[in-house]
Amino acid sequence: MSTTTIILVVGVLVVLAAVYISWRAGRLDRLHIRLELARESLDAALVRRAAVCLELAGSRILDPATSLVLAAAAHEARTAGPDEREHAESDLSNTLRAVIDQERFHERMAESPDGKALWDELHAAVAKVLYSRRFYNNSVGVTRTAQRRWLARTLRLAGRTEYPKFFEIDDVPPQAMAAE
Amino acid sequence: MTAMGRTMRIGIVCPYTWEVPGGVQAHIRDLAEALARDGHQVWVMAPAAEDADLPPYVTSAGRAVPVPYNGSVARLAFGFLSAARVRRWIKEGAFDVLHVHEPAVPSVGLLACWVARGPIVATFHASYRRSRAMSVAGPMLQSALEKITGRIAVSDAARKTLVEHVGGDAVLIPNGVTVGRYEQAEPLPGWGPGGGVIGFLGRMDEPRKGLPVLLEAFALLAAKRPDVRLLIAGPGDEDEVYEQVPAEYRDRVGVLGLVSEEDKIRAYHSVDVFCAPNLGGESFGIVLTEAMSAGAPILASDIPAFRRVLGDGQAGVLFPTGDARALARAADELLDDPERRAKLAVEARQAVLKYDWSTVARDVVRVYETVVGEVPVLVEDERAEDGAR
């Protein structure tokens, strides 16, 4: 084998490796973008749920004790720092179940036109928290696997991106909303 | 025409589950019983489990639900069903006065303010911070709280939060002591007056309760008196306490830890001198008044609250706060002087009557009398129509 052939083979291998690496890096980058979008949509869903809860609490449809319990939980969820967020959002899910799974709650709300609209909005907000969290955690799972790959770790393809964390909360919806 | 001097129909609303032990529940039970002893007709509404064994004067507002509230999980009764039960209870009770406890807590008390109209008295127990939640639910909460005609705070702290956060003022009527409950008890086995026993009751790991001062004094005293022993009861770490006692005296110290109500009373009857070495912060010496009811000779630090309860030293000996040597000296003298101890016990039992529930209940009745009119408490008719029948 001549020197030229060796150089050629090595050159082809280098090119192939470079193409492969950049393809992996590009994939990781796309995963990161998807993860970020999923995170944003989860954030939006959580903020939206808290906002609807606050509106319901202030709507005079409920008795003041229920309003206060709901408003307190929604407020905690909305203002929680990153470390307390999962806890506060779980608390809000918990409170929502206690509030909505009262006897004849849906009927009471449906009696007023505002109540009907709020019920629908809340129902949608609760469902979207459930969906967006599922999608976000999926995205976290895939990104984690990609980041843990030997090549990604050795060549630091993830750059300075943090190792993504799952968002673990209790988001079981109230029975009245799950059954529909 | 006023309600002066006549007996009243009183409806009391408790926000927390009746059968679960708690300060507010105990307060309401003692108040209701003291009012009944004075001839008033008293009814109580409180959340309770379906199968709870309730006294005849208590009506259930339904089951309380555990919900996260203000940083912990609280068991509260709220919602249309509870509101309906409160309405019915008020309608049928035709009370001269409605006495709501903790009306700012989202439970039956707040619901009662919401559905009722007429003479309403409210007692504030806890000190709480104003949360944004309260301003969000504000208009509703405010209109319910504004119906309260007479406000009572059980402590300076509760009164201060009320003034700062809700606005307006309140009269201060502290918790009472049921003196009779503490008068008689058997000493704990192995302990008892006549053996040079000094007693302490309170959180062992809370420095403001002053246990370290007492332990230091005990070491001084133990060196001088071979008979002196120390009986300690209250929550905290036992080993930490023993570490502060010189090894040769450790067998003369008994640490009971957290005790039952019954054993607490027996502990008060197991001592020759009851010591309250607090460094400050007590707005009302509940432990002190209990020990006084039991007739234990008291040795307490000279903080304003204790000085007041002990009638400037008439009903108990005061020593300079935080001074272990002075404590040791005073205890030494007291242990040598059975006559003085007997006299202090008599004085203490006399002085504590001022804090007995019968006295406190009469103060509360004076508040009722200032707000009561000719019309009983009625239910609001607009909104909140009777839902769950």
Per-residue pLDDT of chain B (389 residues; tens, 9 = 90+): 344 568 999 999 999 999 988 889 999 999 999 999 999 999 999 999 988 899 999 999 999 999 988 777 889 999 988 999 999 999 999 999 999 999 988 999 999 999 999 999 999 987 666 555 566 666 667 888 889 999 999 888 888 878 877 777 899 998 888 899 999 999 999 898 887 999 999 888 888 889 999 999 999 999 999 999 999 998 889 899 999 999 999 999 999 988 888 999 999 999 999 999 999 766 667 889 999 999 999 999 999 888 988 989 999 999 999 999 999 999 999 999 999 999 999 999 999 998 899 999 999 999 999 999 878 888 876 444 444 33
| Residue A17 falls inside a structural domain | no
Task: Give the dihedral sign, CA A125/A130/A132/A133.
Answer: positive
| Residue A69 falls inside a structural domain | yes
How much is the pLDDT for A19? Answer: 92
Query: In angstroms, rounded to a whole number, what is the distance separating the alpha carbons of residues A131 and B176?
Result: 55
| Residue A1 falls inside a structural domain | no
How much is the pLDDT for B386? Answer: 43
Amino acid occupying residue B1: M
How much is the pLDDT for B284? Answer: 66
How much is the pLDDT for B385? Answer: 46
Q: Domain limits at A153?
A: 49-178
How far CA A18 is from CA of A23, A24, A43, A104, B49, in Å, comes to 8, 10, 37, 65, 70
Query: In angstroms, rounded to a whole number, what is the distance separating the alpha carbons of residues A98 and B107?
Result: 13
Task: Give the dihedral sign, CA B14/B20/B23/B26.
Answer: positive
Q: Which residues of A touch B79 (CB under 8 A)?
A: 63, 65-66, 99, 102, 105
Contact A57 B137 (CB under 8 A): yes
**Is B98 strand, coil or helix?**
strand
Structural domains of chain B, ranges and CATH numbers in brackets: 9-176+357-379 (3.40.50.2000), 183-355 (3.40.50.2000)
Residue B308 CB coordination number (10 Å): 11
Q: Which of B68, B78, B82 sits opposite A94 (nearest CB)?
A: B68
Contact B133 A68 (CB under 8 A): yes
Q: Does B172 touch chain A (CB under 8 A)?
A: no
Q: How many domains are there within chain A? A: 1
pLDDT at A98 over 50: yes
Residues in Cβ contact with B381 at an 8 Å cutoff, skipping those fewer than 6 apart: none
| Residue A21 falls inside a structural domain | no
Query: In angstroms, rounded to a whole number, what is the distance separating the alpha carbons of residues B314 and B301?
Result: 14
| The model's pTM | 0.79
Give the mean pLDDT of chain A: 89
Query: In angstroms, rounded to a whole number, what is the distance separating the alpha carbons of residues A161 and A164?
Result: 8
Residue A89 CB coordination number (10 Å): 25
